[in-house]
Structure 1
Amino acid sequence: MKIPKLFKNKWANHIGYLILSLILLFVGLYFSIYIGLWGKIPTSKDLSNLNQSQATVVLDRNEALIGKLYIYDRQPIDYNQFPQHLIDALIATEDTRFYEHNGIDNKSLARVFFKTLLMSDETSGGGSTITLQLAKNLFGRENYGSFGIIINKIKESIVAKRLEDLYSKQEILNLYLNTVPFPDNTYGIESAAKKFFNVTTSQLTIPQSATLIGTLKANHSYNPRLFPERSKARRDLVIDLMNKQGFISDEEASIATESELELDYHHYAPNQGLAPYFRAEIKKQLDSILQNPDYKNPNGETYNVFRDGLKVYTTLDNTMQRYAEEAMREHMSNLQATYEKAYGKRAPWLKNKAVYEAAKKRLKVYKKLKTSGISEKAINDSLSKPKSLELFSWDGTIMESVSTLDSLEHFLKFLNAGLISLEPSSGAIRAYVGGIDYRFFQYDHVSQSKRQVGSTFKPFVYTAALENGMDPCAYFSVKPVTYTDVDDWTPTNASEIDDEDIDYSLEYALSNSINTIAVKVLYETGIDKTIEQAYKMGIKSTIENVPSIALGSANLSLLEMASAYSSFVNSSMPSTPIFITKIEDKNGNIIASFEDLNPKINQEKAFSDETRQTMLEFMKATVNSGTAQRLRTSYKLNNNIAGKTGTTQDNKDGWFAAIMPNLVTVVWVGNDNQQIGFSSTSIGQGANSALPIFAKYLQKLNNDSKFRTITHAEFETPRDDVLNNLDCEQSKKESFLERLFRSDSDSKEFRKKRKGIFDWLKKKKEDNSDSRFNP
């Protein structure tokens, strides 16, 4: 049957008009996008001055990466740092005609249409070129509703063409690999290489490069941390494509596909990975430093730590930090189990106990509900509703359905810890452990926390005594004394002493931490003079003028304690702790430098060299035969070590301060809630709660030959006059007259009279003027 000519012309006309309308519509849309009606398109000038946000990197003393500060985790590198197989993997997978097109590959688009869409062949690749992807990476996409994909694609094609006009193919690859998003909020190949494999980009192997390039298709679905099997299959496909396109040989492809997918994953998020408390402190210091008008960027603006790609060089040692964290975890997990078992059903953190109830009423949510005027029962009902929460456990974090009150009970029970290790000669901080897990306990026990320091304060008392003329061989009775001038206060010793008729030397009293003698030494020296001595040694916090400071009632931080103890091995001068040595901008220009904060020239000594050497001998005895001797007996440590243990009232805090010639370390252990202590002194004393962290830490350092300058360092040899002044017995029996004149309820006035009597008797004996007192 013959079709009428009019009918044919009618349909032809309709189709022609439709095609023409679509063309005009597309041209109009393209033109409207081009002139900016759908949002500004970067001009060639904009594209020639690309300034992407860059992560600030925090480096250790050896310039190893500790962590980053960023909104987007991006760490740009130069093109010459890309291994060739990385470039090959990218081109083979993402854009095989990269070197042939000008940003838009029409042949690839046609191939995608026929092979991928019609024949379902996934190996054909995508139609989006590397340049188009770069345009998307640089400027993102906006939501235009139903037309979004079309509008964004046109915008990207315009930007891609401009990029191709401005940059060489090599420069485009460099821009692309420095900006492309990888899994886990990671931007750029260098950040990805360090996060997933702990290597630089230049060190990536063929399988590692293929793994990372493989994630670009879908960086969540092919995340090797979350989906290792799926990621490996994608990696093998990339390797196969590299082989088919002649980038690698059959043998190289075979070896690469047969290798296991092995990650060495490193967190650089603020609350994860190595040294999170230290990194948080670095961020605080940077915020303060960069406000200084002397440290402005070339435009006169304040540097942005999240955006400007700064390099922050710190004093921390990555390896020492890792050893310190490992030592803390090993000890604290065991101590926590012992601590909970010792309390059993009597634990103060259990519901309905006074400590628990007090903690509940300090909760923000409790206070908010209380302010609203609802009843106690209604508050408890509200706080008892279960919800899914992540909970800390030494066996790994757990997700459980618990109420706010259950969570409170769970977290109240945990002991916490702090450790700081610094080089006394420079103040450089080598290890910094602010707590047991930053994700759950963000309160920093090194810089923020101040706790009673217990017997670790006693070296300040004895230093002040020596500086004010006390004989190193002075003897004091161990018997308790009631101080009528302080509300009849009677300090006692932590453990019973068999024979209270014995007088002990200063060395024995300090090394065995005898409380009664520490208070007597304080009184004889003077409280004011002791406080003044502590301030000279670097203590910054206010110390109350009360006699209980002899037993460590002062609340001080680990940071200032480490500074003070450093004076014993730093020519009698306290070190100023140094966190940051210098800050550079992204181009390597120095913004600020802090490497010389501890000049020895013209710095005033806190005490004499004689006192320093004497005190070191006292504290060596603490380790060799006193309260810290388990370092020798249990942990078999033969290093040159001096130190002091500390335990506070009701076993709330355990301390250990360790002095080595080239390293000072202070450790604290306790519950964040100061109402909760250890159930017994045997568990809570510093020698049991804090000392083992240092011991395990030092064992690890001893096993690493890199730290021989620390582990094999020896104390200076004391001067002859110092040794002569210490040449006395550790103890002596009281004479009849000493016992006769001693009063268990001595007042200050009586002690003065008694001292006068004994001074007279001593002179008589020396003059040999009264035979009754001859030996």
Structure 2
Amino acid sequence: MAKSPTKQEKTTRSKSSYILGFWTLFGLGILVIIFIFLLASWGAFGKMPTFEELENPETNLATEIFSSDGKTLGKYYSENRTPIRYDDLPDHLVEALVATEDERFYKHAGIDPKGTLRAAVFLGTRGGASTITQQLSKLLFTEQVSNNPLARVLQKVKEWIIATRLERQYTKEEIITMYFNKYDFVYQAVGIRSASKIYFGKEAKDLNIEESAVLVAMLKNAALYNPVRRPEMVEQRRNQVFVQMYKNGYLSEKEKDSLQKLPLTLDFSPEGHDEGMATYFRVYLQGFMKDWIKKNPKPDGTEYNIYRDGLKIYTSIDSKMQEYAEESVKKHISHLQKEFDRQNENNKTAPFRDVTPDEVNSIVRSAMRRSVRWKEMEEQGKSEEEILASFDKERKMRVFSWNGTKDTVMTPKDSIFYYKGFLQAGLMSMTPQTGEVKAWVGGTNFKHFKYDHVKQGKRQVGSTFKPFVYATAIDQLKLSPCDTLPLNPFTIEAGKYGNVKDWSPRNVGDNYEGMISLKNALAQSVNTVTARLIDKTGPGPVVDLATKLGVDTRYFSTGPAIALGTEDMSLFEMVSAYSTFANEGVYIKPVMVNRIEDKNGTMLYQNVPETRDVLSKEAAYVTVNLLEGVTQYGSGVRLRGTYAKDLDHYKRGVTGYPYDFKNPIAGKTGTTQNQSDGWFMGIVPNLVTGVWVGAEDRAVHFPTITYGQGATMALPIWGMYMKDLYADEELEISKDDFPKPDNLSIEVNCSNYYQENQQNSENLPDELDF
């Protein structure tokens, strides 16, 4: 008979069973955890990155646009990220990151056991367990999940696995660099370089320690710790970063205390597509890049993506010149707008003039049909009656004003009238010898006025077209600026050049007596002299010359009236054409992009100048000499700071302007019918700049020529712009004489000319008799 186990033996067996069970369960638990990790690594809980993806983690890199002087003009992006190298990260930025986010970063292999255990024991109340590498793995390869606890655990497992793989694949410095390049600091500031520029207006390498601490403070939750919206909260978090840096030996206690007392300061400059410098140019460039991409695929045959591939576009724009140009447009148009509004106070059809009620309704209806509101409602299936009714319902809106965006209540229809009343401007500046476009201002405010008045818009050019007529006559007939023609009325009979009726242009002021030199005639914009010249050359050669100068003449009239600038041209065409005169008769196609590189710096495109001979050096120089007369004693004389040779203005007490240029300047003003457009084209030896001013609709204009002429509307912008350029000596804008060709056969010095031709003194042009 077997002996029954004693109580002690039962207790011992029971303990052994418990121990065996515990270790069995523990072992099974370890195996389950290992199995879970294996399943995760095999992709059972979602796609895991391959070796190739770890080697080249996919990121959306912004395409960056550079000025010719190395400044960032803007970016194209789905995420505003521009990568940065570890060497460009300041030491205190890296130290702040490690001290705040992962104290044992340099000691672990992706997972911090001590931090993980602490987080598990205290349920995260004493800090989280995510290392910098884990945070990077989450940014790079894992998706955001719901608040489901199981899903969160599985996501954490994936983060651990990816973190260990990243640690094997990359150095600690590379991991820090990728983390900073990937993090979204909000306000389209993806990555540390964008964040540095948007929040502090500087490159990351130039951040000081308190600025670095602010950006590291945002890593906790950039949407919550937002220095623009919650500066006090961010300042407190920044000061905690200093505490962590002190605890980890990166700061002394004295340094910590001193830094904590500093106020939080920002230089907030958003980099949205509507903000920043050269906004109109960047839109043009976007179209240029789309065309270039279609013709230049990647080596694998796919297309480049300007929003994701991190291209680098090096443009011809000079950031200083662009800044001066934008500021000059803003200063003059905001001032001119006040006078324009004052003159519209008693205008019953404001902002329109010289139009019938039916014409006003037609203009407004056309604007409605082009609006986003109309298109969106049309896509929703709304009837025309419903759409029209919506334009008469008041609503809250934010509208443009020269004092900043303002909140108001008005109907969409009233907002059309409101916006139609604003004057607009365009400016383009180009180096004639290289074709490089140095400044491009397409309007007054891109956020509210998208239409580009440099290349997109075409308007009547008025008297700025006359130099094309004069240049043709000089080239054909070897005329001198000193040659004289009668001022008397002149008629080109119907049918001679396809004109259906007699054409008899009138002179301003109805001055038809005596003789006048070509130089004075162009300076005074004498219409009858221009008519005589185009009658000598014929309209065809003038149009041919304009075509060679880069003007789209396909829809030009063949009649003689083109001599007075009745055709529409863009500012882009005008500047490139005038540049040919300054470039000794050689046309150079305007250059906006010098080169394009991929994200690795590989050259993808290099500009090759396109040139052609259009005029002889002699004809080009004589044309420029004629244009100098405009600023010596013509409509551009105010650039000299005085009207000393204009008796009429002396009588009215107008004696000076603030420009006071002494150097040679060639130029031409232009004014169109009803004062709808004001132009000024200005030339110095190494820069040609054109300015246009008007309103969106030609029916919106000044009532009289006093303010409605090119000399008042456009010339002041040129004057202010050039004053700024000359004040900045680094730009090296020329004040020299225009280069004179060797063996010049046409006499441009009128004193010599009259002596050689033994003219009577009564035939000399009187400088005061305009």
2:400 paired residue number: 392
Question: Offset of 1:25 from its aligned partner?
Answer: 8.7
Distance (Å, rounded) in 1 between the aligned partners of 2:161 and 2:228: 36
* Structure 1 range deviating more: 438-447 or 690-699: 438-447
Q: How does 1:484-633 map to 2 (within 5 A)?
A: 484-485=493-494, 486=499, 487-493=501-507, 495-497=508-510, 500-542=512-554, 543-594=556-607, 596-598=608-610, 603-604=612-613, 606-633=614-641
- The equivalent position to 1:649 in structure 2, one of 649, 673, 690, is 673
2:648 paired residue number: none
Q: What CA deviation, in whole Å up to 9, does each residue of 1:239-298 have, x standing for no partner?
A: 232123210223433443344433333443322100011111122111111222xx4334
Distance (Å, rounded) in 2 between the aligned partners of 1:200 and 1:137: 23
Q: What CA deviation, in whole Å up to 9, does each residue of 1:452-507 have, x standing for no partner?
A: 111100000111111121632333333444544142443223x415x532221111
SS at match of 1:297: coil
SS at match of 2:409: strand
Question: Offset of 1:141 from its aligned partner?
Answer: 1.7
1:88 paired residue number: 95
Distance (Å, rounded) in 2 between the aligned partners of 1:694 and 1:350: 26
Question: Offset of 1:369 from its aligned partner?
Answer: 7.9
Do the aligned residues in 1 keep the contact of 2:37 with 2:161 (CA within 8 Å)? no
1:343 paired residue number: 344
Q: Alpha carbons of 1:264 and 1:732: their partners in 2 closer, same or farther (altered >3 Å)?
A: farther
Q: Structure 1, unaligned stretches of length 5 or more?
A: 119-123, 736-775
1:263 paired residue number: 266
1:176 aligns with 2:179: yes
SS at match of 2:294: coil
- The equivalent position to 1:453 in structure 2, one of 449, 461, 467, is 461
SS at match of 1:183: coil
Distance (Å, rounded) in 1 between the aligned partners of 2:283 and 2:690: 20
SS at match of 2:679: strand
Q: Alpha carbons of 1:104 and 1:418: their partners in 2 closer, same or farther (altered >3 Å)?
A: same
Question: Offset of 1:630 from its aligned partner?
Answer: 1.2
Question: Offset of 1:725 from its aligned partner?
Answer: 6.3
1:770 paired residue number: none
SS at match of 1:184: coil
- The equivalent position to 2:713 in structure 1, one of 689, 698, 702, is 689
Q: Alpha carbons of 1:630 and 1:355: their partners in 2 closer, same or farther (altered >3 Å)?
A: farther
Distance (Å, rounded) in 1 between the aligned partners of 2:748 and 2:203: 58
Question: Offset of 1:426 from its aligned partner?
Answer: 0.3
Distance (Å, rounded) in 2 between the aligned partners of 1:25 and 1:409: 72
Do the aligned residues in 1 keep the contact of 2:625 with 2:748 (CA within 8 Å)? no
Q: Alpha carbons of 1:144 and 1:263: their partners in 2 closer, same or farther (altered >3 Å)?
A: closer
Q: Alpha carbons of 1:126 and 1:144: their partners in 2 closer, same or farther (altered >3 Å)?
A: closer
Do the aligned residues in 1 keep the contact of 2:546 with 2:553 (CA within 8 Å)? no
Do the aligned residues in 2 keep the contact of 1:646 with 1:685 (CA within 8 Å)? yes
* Structure 1 range deviating more: 649-658 or 365-374: 365-374
Distance (Å, rounded) in 2 between the aligned partners of 1:724 and 1:694: 26
Question: Offset of 1:521 from its aligned partner?
Answer: 1.8
Distance (Å, rounded) in 1 between the aligned partners of 2:152 and 2:532: 83
- The equivalent position to 1:462 in structure 2, one of 452, 464, 470, is 470
Q: What CA deviation, in whole Å up to 9, does each residue of 1:577-622 have, x standing for no partner?
A: 001111111111111100x3045xxx42x22222222222211110
Distance (Å, rounded) in 2 between the aligned partners of 1:731 and 1:506: 17
1:42 paired residue number: 49
- The equivalent position to 2:733 in structure 1, one of 710, 720, 729, is 710
* Structure 1 range deviating more: 632-641 or 25-34: 25-34
Q: Alpha carbons of 1:675 and 1:467: their partners in 2 closer, same or farther (altered >3 Å)?
A: same
Do the aligned residues in 1 keep the contact of 2:318 with 2:438 (CA within 8 Å)? yes
Question: Offset of 1:540 from its aligned partner?
Answer: 2.7
Question: Offset of 1:91 from its aligned partner?
Answer: 0.8
Do the aligned residues in 2 keep the contact of 1:503 with 1:732 (CA within 8 Å)? no
1:434 paired residue number: 442
Q: Alpha carbons of 1:529 and 1:357: their partners in 2 closer, same or farther (altered >3 Å)?
A: same
1:637 paired residue number: 661
- The equivalent position to 2:365 in structure 1, one of 361, 367, 370, is 361
> In the alignment, residue 131 of structure 1 is paired with which amino acid?
T
Question: Offset of 1:39 from its aligned partner?
Answer: 2.0
Distance (Å, rounded) in 2 between the aligned partners of 1:731 and 1:305: 68
> In the alignment, residue 588 of structure 1 is paired with which amino acid?
G
Q: Structure 2, unaligned stretches of length 5 or more?
A: 1-10, 642-656, 765-770
Q: What CA deviation, in whole Å up to 9, does each residue of 1:69-104 have, x standing for no partner?
A: 111111112222222111100011111121222322
1:765 paired residue number: none
Question: Offset of 1:31 from its aligned partner?
Answer: 5.8
Do the aligned residues in 2 keep the contact of 1:479 with 1:501 (CA within 8 Å)? yes
1:659 aligns with 2:690: no
> In the alignment, residue 586 of structure 1 is paired with which amino acid?
K
2:485 paired residue number: 476
SS at match of 1:623: helix
Distance (Å, rounded) in 2 between the aligned partners of 1:720 and 1:215: 69
Do the aligned residues in 1 keep the contact of 2:142 with 2:159 (CA within 8 Å)? no
> In the alignment, residue 364 of structure 2 is paired with which amino acid?
K
Distance (Å, rounded) in 2 between the aligned partners of 1:402 and 1:548: 44
Do the aligned residues in 2 keep the contact of 1:481 with 1:490 (CA within 8 Å)? yes
> In the alignment, residue 361 of structure 1 is paired with which amino acid?
R
Do the aligned residues in 2 keep the contact of 1:93 with 1:125 (CA within 8 Å)? no
Q: Alpha carbons of 1:26 and 1:347: their partners in 2 closer, same or farther (altered >3 Å)?
A: farther
1:382 paired residue number: 390
Distance (Å, rounded) in 2 between the aligned partners of 1:79 and 1:711: 42
Distance (Å, rounded) in 1 between the aligned partners of 2:705 and 2:97: 63
Q: What CA deviation, in whole Å up to 9, does each residue of 1:12-52 have, x standing for no partner?
A: 9xx99xx9999999777666544323321113443123232
Q: How does 1:213-292 map to 2 (within 5 A)?
A: 213-292=216-295
Do the aligned residues in 2 keep the contact of 1:355 with 1:675 (CA within 8 Å)? no
Q: Could you say what the CA RMSD is over the residues aligned between the two structures, in angstroms? A: 3.2
Q: Alpha carbons of 1:115 and 1:356: their partners in 2 closer, same or farther (altered >3 Å)?
A: farther
The number of equivalent residue pairs is 709
1:751 paired residue number: none
Distance (Å, rounded) in 2 between the aligned partners of 1:521 and 1:95: 81
1:75 paired residue number: 82
Question: Offset of 1:560 from its aligned partner?
Answer: 1.3
1:134 paired residue number: 136
TM-score, normalization by structure 2: 0.85
1:196 aligns with 2:192: no
> In the alignment, residue 323 of structure 1 is paired with which amino acid?
Y
1:408 paired residue number: 416
Question: Offset of 1:527 from its aligned partner?
Answer: 0.9
1:300 aligns with 2:301: yes
Distance (Å, rounded) in 2 between the aligned partners of 1:714 and 1:51: 56
Question: Offset of 1:628 from its aligned partner?
Answer: 0.8
Question: Offset of 1:553 from its aligned partner?
Answer: 0.8
Question: Offset of 1:554 from its aligned partner?
Answer: 1.2
SS at match of 1:694: helix
Question: Offset of 1:541 from its aligned partner?
Answer: 3.3
Question: Offset of 1:688 from its aligned partner?
Answer: 0.7
TM-score, normalization by structure 1: 0.85
> In the alignment, residue 491 of structure 1 is paired with which amino acid?
P
Q: Alpha carbons of 1:229 and 1:646: their partners in 2 closer, same or farther (altered >3 Å)?
A: farther
Q: What CA deviation, in whole Å up to 9, does each residue of 1:289-348 have, x standing for no partner?
A: 1222xx433433222211111111111101110010011100111111111211224164
